[in-house]
Amino acid sequence: MTDPSPRAAVVASLASTLSRAVALGDEVAVRVVHEAIGRLLGLPVAPEG
């Protein structure tokens, strides 16, 4: 088994943070973490609104 890439490790950490933010109902934190994960994965940023 190989070690995950640094980017994969960060995404995993952010996924954990995202889960906690959802559980707490923190919509702002959810939005910020979701965007960060998307940027790390190279996905386009959705417009706000």
- What are the pLDDT digits (tens) for 15-26? 999 999 999 999
pLDDT at 42: 87
| Percentage of the chain lying above the pLDDT 70 cut | 88
Report whether pLDDT(35) > 90: yes
**CA 30 to each of CA 5, 27, 43: distance values in angstroms, whole numbers, following the listed order:** 24, 5, 17
Report residue 37 as tokens.
Answer: 């994960």
Q: What is the mean pLDDT of the chain?
A: 89
Do 36 and 11 touch, CB atoms closer than 8 A?
A: no
Which of 24, 25, 22, 4 has its CA nearest to residue 34?
Answer: 22
How far is it, in rounded angstroms, from Cα 45 to Cα 23? 24
Higher pLDDT, 5 or 43: 5
Q: What is the mean pLDDT of residues 30-39?
A: 94
Report whether pLDDT(46) > 70: no
